Structure formats: structure tokens, C-alpha cells
Structure 1
Amino acid sequence: MLDRTSVEKRLSTMEIPTLPEVMTRVIEAASSDTASAADLTAILQCDHAISARILRIANSAFFGFQGKVDSLRRAVALIGFDTVRFLAMATSVFDYFSGRHQNVIDVRRFWMHAVGAARAVEMLGRKLPGIFSVEACYTGALLQDMGIILMALEYPTEYRKVIEIASESPLYLTEIERGVLGLDHVEIGAWVAQAWHLPPLIVNLIQHSHDEPEETVKLEPEYTVVRLAHSLADISGFGFDWVSPESVLSSLYGIRLGLAPAEIDDLREALSEMQEDATELMDLIVLEK
């Protein structure tokens, strides 16, 4: 095992590129329950590259609209604020991380899992209206595991060992990471989120994203929602094949939110049916780069 102090020292000297201003503003708007479609549109219009990509995707065969979608305002009207928000977040965040090369993690699969979790948040928001901040949970679900990529970038040899152990062990991924590297992707993800000056709730959602169920009982419902969303993504086929799905945790967190086991099964089934569309949309985001 690497010495934790040496790992922390190396990470503290790691240069974390500053987030582009537009990406920072997109994350802030996407995480706010007061930001409107007009607010997000105004931010996106400041970045012509992202705006153009969103419009190309909106005009793709995936959506199949008749006539040209020629403005972000029209895109919001046709495909909805939630989808435009997702495209804005996914394109900006995906670009940031895909530009940092590593060959340990399947980045496309990584983002598929994040997309599955974000979609699960949307479903939970419709099922439990007014219970939690959908916007904050959506952003937290997308960014929760970004520490995995950063660990693979800084410690590729050690993280291959993590994957090797995880593929054969029932242990939680964070336990394996701590055993090999001395710390886990949750700690690193929260550290980066703080360095990026993300909203405090997003930082905390990342920091507590793998707490044991009993440790989150007294926390806001957002923590339970993000945990449940990622668990649903795992058991619905969106996760890595080397991470053990946490089906038991889905029931535990679902019950805490007042959901019956049958309702959890319905959510899992509905999310599983979204895989094909999510894959196609993810391919569009990658190809339109």
C-alpha cells in the first residue's frame, strides 16, 4: 500500500486546471432550483462551441424533429429544459475530462454510469416532488465519482490493481482504494470540487457519497437520493462490470425515502429500459466533439 501522506503530498502539488468560466456557471445554474431555462440559455450563448454542439445534437436523427432547431431557446422548447441541462453539463464536463488522457478507465463507460445516475435522479424527482433539490442531486450524481478518473490519471499502475481486486472481491470500491492507495476517490473528488469552488452542497454530496447508510440518517434527503441514484444505475446495467452492484443498498435508501421494494423494482426496470437511448445520446456527445 502507498503511504497516505505521500499520496496526499503528491495530490496537493498536482496542478488542477481551472474550470472554464462557462462550465463553472453551467454547474452553478444546473445545481440551482431557482435558475430558469432563460438563465441557462444566456450562459450557454457565451460559449459558441458548446452551443453549436447542443444544436447539432438537437438536430440529429435521435430527436427527429421536423424543421431546423436553430436556437437554444427553440431547443429548450422542443426537447425540454432537463435535456438541455443534461447536454450542457455532459458536453462541458466530458470535454474537460476526456482531454486528460489515461488508459486505465473506460471513460465512455464511466460517463454512462454518471448519466444513469442523473436519469435516476430525474425519475426520483418526479416520484417524490418537493422532497429534495433535483438540481443539486442531478449535478452531484454526474460528478460524484470524478475522483476515480483523477486517481487513474495520477496512479495508473495502482488503480489497475484496484480494478483487478474489485473484479474479484465483494468489498466496496472505496475500501479497495484505501487498501491500495491509502485514500479513496470520494476524498479526492471532494477535494477537487472544493478547489473548483463548486457550491457547498455539491461538495458535501460528493464527500458523503459512499457513507454507510447509518452515517447518512441525519443528513438532508439529497444525500440519500444521490446514493440511491448511483445504486440504481449500478443494478440497472449502467455501472462498471468490475464494481459489485449494491442492490441491498437500493432497498435501504429507498425505504428511507418512503419507497416500497416494488417501487424500487419499477424504477430499476424503467432505468434499464433507458440504456439504449442513453448510449445513443452519449455517442452523440462524444462524436459531436
Structure 2
Amino acid sequence: MTTGSVETDLASAPRGIRIPPQPQVLRDLAQLIATDAYDARGVAAVLGQDPGLAAMVFKAVHRPGLRGARPPASLEQAILRIGVTQTFNIVRAVALSTSIGPANRRAYELFWQRSRTLAELAALVADERVSVCNIFADQAYMAGMFLECGVPVLMQRFPDYCQALLLNARMDAPSLKEEDQRFGVDHRSIGYLVARHWHLPEFVAQAILHHDEVPRDELGAVRSLVAILHLANHARLRAQRIHDYNWDRCGGEVLAELGLHPDDLDDYLADLEERQTGVPL
């Protein structure tokens, strides 16, 4: 799928696939930010209309790379600490999980639990590697949440999707080839449409589209973000004692992109797991 306008992308969605709409609070925030006449108090007033999303901003402030010495006492203080742009990115990420209804509740809950873990690990990697890759923690968190968001969309569209492709509690991403064979569509392309429809940064949308490998034709932010997501997923699987077959294929490229030496990988992953333990997800 090539990059085009959001309207063109949505028109190309397979028949019967419903791309989830943005919540009203996101549209209101985007409209406010577009005016350039905003401050933390105004953003807090808009965001406060949705208590669930406001609570998630408070939770996100405690992530490594964002938290300070003392927790914020108000929503306005939380926004001041992480910045308006970062707040908007985080709100987009957490809003997604409430915008796609649970067609299969257990599978849905497992999927979002897995996505939050991946997003958290990606934020930790980005925060530690920011001087190398120039990808920030909030951007990586958002990308981790949206990375496979096409999966719950397809859960809704195809009642037998979970039974056909999601066979265990690991909730690993289904094979793109199997999806195409069974349903004529894959979660990567649908995730790209969601990212475009929700007005995510283009490099994030492209990373979702190309996330199955480290793209050699996509340089800069796209390649770096994909590498961060691969390393985060490798860390997730390692913590579960699950072999990462994708790492066998592209681990060397990931490490080179992130400026990490293979000999340091075990220590890096152990430190990452320790930092991730106990962080609110």
C-alpha cells in the first residue's frame, strides 16, 4: 500500500472493514492545538471532558522518561510536565483501546495487555536510545499501541478470526500470509489505515506498514522506529521464555540501527526487563 490521502486510504479499505472513528475529545484537542492559541490549562479543560483518558495521562506520567521526582497534583501539572504534543500522542494511543469494541472479550483483553507491554518496552528503549535514533519515548509508546491495531479491527469483522489465527494466550501477531489466504486482508494494512485516519505522524504510520521487517528502503525515523519495536518485542518474548524467530532473521539489523553491540544484548535485555517490572501499564 502506498501513501496517499486519508480519504483515499479509507476508500480502499476492504468492504465491511470498519475503521474506528476518533473520540470527540481527540477531535477537540486537534482543533485546539491547530489554532496555536492554547496552553496547558486549555488542553486540560478539553481533556477533562473524558475522565478515562485524563486518568490515563496521569498513569502515563509515571513511565520512565516522563516521570519527575514528585507526581503531578493536577491534570494541568501532568500536561506541563510531559508537554502538549506528548500529551496528545499519549491520549491518541490510550483512546484506541476504548474505540474498538471487544468482539471477543477474552482475546480482546489479552491483545491490549500485550500491546501495552510492547508499548511500555518500546518507550524504555526509545528513552535510552534517543541520542542515537531521535525517537522519543511518547512516540515509541504510541507506535507500540497502534502497531497491530488491525488485529482487533479484524476480530470485529470476522467472527472466526480468533479461532482461525489466535490460538493461545501469547496473542502473537497472526501471519500476514495466513490472513490474506483466509480473509483476503491483513492486519498490517488495516493498522496503517487506522494510523492514517487517526492522523498519527506519517513516520509512525509507515513503521506500522513496514513493521514485519527492518525496511531497507525506509531510512531515518521509520527504520529506527521499526528497530525499536523489534527490540521491544524481542524483550517481551524473552521475558516469557519464547523463542523469537523474527530476531533470527533481522536481529543483526536491529542492533546495528540502534547502535548496540551483539555482545551487550543479554545485559541490555536484562536491564530492560528490570526497568519494566513494576511500571504501570
Q: Same fold (TM over 0.5)?
A: yes
Alignment identity in percent? 17
8 Å CA contact 1:190–1:207 kept in 2: the answer is: yes
- In the superposition, relative to structure 1, how do residues 190 and 122 fare at CA in structure 2: closer, same or farther (>3 Å)? same
Give me the whole-angstrom Cα distance separating, in 2, the residues matched to 1:268 and 1:145.
23
Q: Secondary structure at the match of 1:191?
A: helix
Q: Per-residue deviation at 1:261?
A: 1.2
8 Å CA contact 1:166–1:173 kept in 2: the answer is: no
Q: Secondary structure at the match of 1:105?
A: helix
8 Å CA contact 2:117–2:236 kept in 1: the answer is: no
- In the superposition, relative to structure 1, how do residues 142 and 158 fare at CA in structure 2: closer, same or farther (>3 Å)? closer
8 Å CA contact 2:207–2:226 kept in 1: the answer is: no
Q: Per-residue deviation at 1:139?
A: 2.5
Q: Per-residue deviation at 1:118?
A: 4.4
Give me the whole-angstrom Cα distance separating, in 2, the residues matched to 1:113 and 1:259.
24
Give me the whole-angstrom Cα distance separating, in 1, the residues matched to 2:201 and 2:130.
23
In the other structure, the counterpart of 1:286 is: none
Segments of 5+ residues of structure 2 without an aligned counterpart are 1-10
Which has the higher relative contact order, 1 or 2, with Cα contacts under 8 A spaced 6 or more apart? 1
Give me the whole-angstrom Cα distance separating, in 1, the residues matched to 2:263 and 2:27.
39
Q: Per-residue deviation at 1:160?
A: 1.9
8 Å CA contact 1:190–1:204 kept in 2: the answer is: yes
Candidates 137, 146, 150, aligned match of 2:149: 146
Give me the whole-angstrom Cα distance separating, in 1, the residues matched to 2:143 and 2:118.
13
8 Å CA contact 2:125–2:232 kept in 1: the answer is: no
Give me the whole-angstrom Cα distance separating, in 2, the residues matched to 1:153 and 1:240.
30
Q: Per-residue deviation at 1:19?
A: 0.5
In the other structure, the counterpart of 1:45 is: 45
Q: Secondary structure at the match of 2:134?
A: coil
1:175 corresponds to 2:150: no
1:18 corresponds to 2:21: yes
Two-structure CA RMSD over aligned residues (Å): 4.4
In the other structure, the counterpart of 1:225 is: 224
1:131 corresponds to 2:133: yes
8 Å CA contact 1:147–1:189 kept in 2: the answer is: yes
Deviations 1:140-197 (A, max 9, x none): 2221110011111111313321123998x9x972233233323311011112223334
Give me the whole-angstrom Cα distance separating, in 2, the residues matched to 1:148 and 1:182.
14
8 Å CA contact 2:60–2:90 kept in 1: the answer is: no
Give me the whole-angstrom Cα distance separating, in 2, the residues matched to 1:257 and 1:19.
33
Q: Secondary structure at the match of 1:12?
A: coil
8 Å CA contact 1:101–1:153 kept in 2: the answer is: yes
Q: Per-residue deviation at 1:204?
A: 1.6
Segments of 5+ residues of structure 1 without an aligned counterpart are 1-7, 30-34, 283-289
- In the superposition, relative to structure 1, how do residues 96 and 44 fare at CA in structure 2: closer, same or farther (>3 Å)? farther
Deviations 1:206-260 (A, max 9, x none): 11122x34xx12312323333333333333236998x962333333211133321
Alignment of 1:154-169 (within 5 A): 154-164=157-167
Give TM-score scaled by structure 1 length. Answer: 0.66
- In the superposition, relative to structure 1, how do residues 104 and 57 fare at CA in structure 2: closer, same or farther (>3 Å)? closer
Which residue identity does 1:174 align to in structure 2?
A: L
Alignment of 1:1-289 (within 5 A): 11-23=14-26, 42-48=42-48, 49-50=50-51, 52-54=54-56, 57=59, 69-76=72-79, 88-97=91-100, 99-103=101-105, 105-129=107-131, 131-134=133-136, 135-164=138-167, 173-210=175-212, 212-213=213-214, 216-237=215-236, 245=244, 246-248=246-248, 249-278=250-279, 281-282=280-281
